[in-house]
Amino acid sequence: MPFSSLGFSPALLPAFSRAVAEKGYLQPTAIQTQAIPAILQGRDVLGSAQTGSGKTAAFALPLLQQLAQAPATSPRRLRGLILVPTRELAAQVGEEIVSLAKYLPQRVKVAVAFGGVSINPQMMNLRGGADIMVATPGRLLDLIDHNAVKLDAVSLLVLDEADRLLDLGFGEELNRLLALLPARRQSLFFSATFAPAIEALAARLLTDPLRVEVASEPQSAPAIVQRVIDVDPSRRTQLLRHLVQTEQWSRVLVFVATKHAAEIVADKLRKADIQAEPFHGELSQGKRTQVLHDFKLEIVQVVVATDVAARGLDIAQLPVVVNYDLPRSVTDYTHRIGRTGRAGERGMAVSFVSAATQAHWRLIEKRQGLSVTREQVEGFEPVEVLPPNPADPLSTGGIKGQRPSKKDKLREAAGRAQGK
């Protein structure tokens, strides 16, 4: 199905066709085919699709058509608002909208706002207004408090990575922003997955939405080879270094559990003459932007990141993702490995599993419907064994949703006391 069949205005179709061709979309993806006609008709949409499936273009192109057909105002009035959970996703979505709008007859002003940097340049950029804003909720509220932007003319609201917005604690900010928006508006919720909290929010805020769920893209399905390597925790950094060097990985995104681990692992790799940088929420925005820029240019070979990098980052042709620490949730596993194998490219996801994390890996396998053959690398064979009582639910350690509660601990203590 060509883009010309989705319902775009004939006057705008040449500009859109040229822009999407430059983005590599020879034909609409499944999410675009299903969502765009409904959005053009003014319907609310609840859209779920895998990462790298073209969700941004699915909401950006109809928004751009709405703007092109609306009367021009001076100063510009904000018509489209896209809320995202992270700075990197805000910048990425903003860049994609600008690229999709580049051939329209009238210039579209896109403002991007996020925290971690000075608010003053963002306020200066809003002088004269903006047509579209892509923002994180906290910084948008700051701009509103400074009278730099108003939401009274917003006709289209998009929540991108909606589940992550709530995961990161933006619920209160979202409620404040929603109260400032016009009651009559079109609303779109997009994400790779939808948690129950998002379903509840959608039920409250969307009106008769079209539900679009795209499980896979046959024409561009990510070809991700998944590997699991058994290794003791103390040997993971050495194994990572060995794999980077012997398998000649040009670029690797490594996920760890904490900011401290990101710093330590990156430092050890640098001492082994591997160009590596940490990436986490405590870095300045300037540093984070520089790391990603250097990573895309292959100046940096390994980025060691917390889950701040698990959503929204689009690194073209990223060959390998490594779960140095397993993610706490199955959803985060999906998002992590989705950084590779994007837009039909081949990719590899490697997970390190120790005796203590075997139960957690089995849980991921079960919920993902996976069965991955476990490997051992010569020279890095694990020597640690399972805990004495692996079937005991109190021994599951840090597995999300299975940590012992206070009552469990009290019962365990009482049982030990009675046994004395």
Q: Report the C-alpha gap between 20 and 291 in whole angstroms.
A: 28
Residue 136 falls within a domain, yes or no?
yes
- Closest residue by Cα to residue 193 from 160, 169, 171, 225: 160
> How many structural domains are present in the chain?
2
Q: Report the C-alpha gap between 251 and 242 in whole angstroms.
A: 14
Biggest CA-to-CA distance, the chain: 84
Answer yes or no: do 191 and 228 share one domain.
no
CATH assignment of the domain containing 298: 3.40.50.300
* pLDDT at 406 exceeding the cut of 90: no
Please report, rounded to a whole number, the percentage of residues in the chain having pLDDT higher than 70: 87
| Between 98 and 23, residue with greater pLDDT | 98
Q: Report the C-alpha gap between 322 and 182 in whole angstroms.
A: 44
* pLDDT at 384 exceeding the cut of 90: no
Answer yes or no: do 156 and 278 share one domain.
no
* pLDDT at 329 exceeding the cut of 50: yes
Q: To 5 degrees, how large is the angle CA 306–CA 364–CA 166? A: 50
Contact indicator for 347, 321 with CB cutoff of 8 Å: yes
* pLDDT at 9 exceeding the cut of 90: yes
The answer, as to whether pTM is greater than 0.85, is no
Q: Kindly report the three-state secondary structure assignment for every residue of 265-297.
A: HHHHHHHCCCCEEEECCCCCHHHHHHHHHHHHC
Give the gyration radius of the chain's Cα atoms: 23
Please report, rounded to a whole number, the percentage of residues in the chain having pLDDT higher than 90: 59
Distance set, CA 297 to CA 23, 315, 328 (Å): 19, 10, 30
Answer yes or no: do 17 and 145 share one domain.
yes
- Closest residue by Cα to residue 112 from 138, 132, 137, 86: 132
Q: To 5 degrees, how large is the angle CA 364–CA 370–CA 371? A: 110
Least confident of 47-61, 129-143, 270-284, 315-329: 47-61
Q: What sign for the dihedral angle of Cα 167, 172, 173, 177?
A: positive
Q: What is the mean pLDDT of residues 243-265?
A: 95
Give the distance from CA 320 to its chain's centroid.
17
Given 163, 187, 214, which residue is the final one in a domain?
A: 214
Q: Give Cβ neighbours of residue 80 (< 8 Å, ≥ 6 apart).
A: 63, 66, 67, 131, 132, 133, 154, 155, 156, 158
* pLDDT at 388 exceeding the cut of 80: no
Side-chain-facing half-sphere of 72: CA atoms under 13 Å: 7
- State yes or no: cis peptide before 75, omega within 30 of 0: yes
Residue ranges making up the domain that contains 230: 223-388
Q: Report the C-alpha gap between 150 and 177 in whole angstroms.
A: 11
* pLDDT at 399 exceeding the cut of 50: no
Band (pLDDT 50/70/90 cuts) for residue 276 is: very high
pLDDT of residue 167: 72
Band (pLDDT 50/70/90 cuts) for residue 405 is: low
Answer yes or no: do 313 and 231 share one domain.
yes
Answer yes or no: do 25 and 163 share one domain.
yes
What's the token pair of residue 375? 């490997």
Residue 125 falls within a domain, yes or no?
yes
* pLDDT at 400 exceeding the cut of 60: no
Residue 412 falls within a domain, yes or no?
no
Answer yes or no: do 100 and 132 share one domain.
yes
* pLDDT at 398 exceeding the cut of 50: no
Write the pLDDT tens digit of every residue in 188-207.
998 766 778 878 888 889 99
Answer yes or no: do 71 and 185 share one domain.
yes
Contact indicator for 285, 295 with CB cutoff of 8 Å: no
pLDDT of residue 217: 43
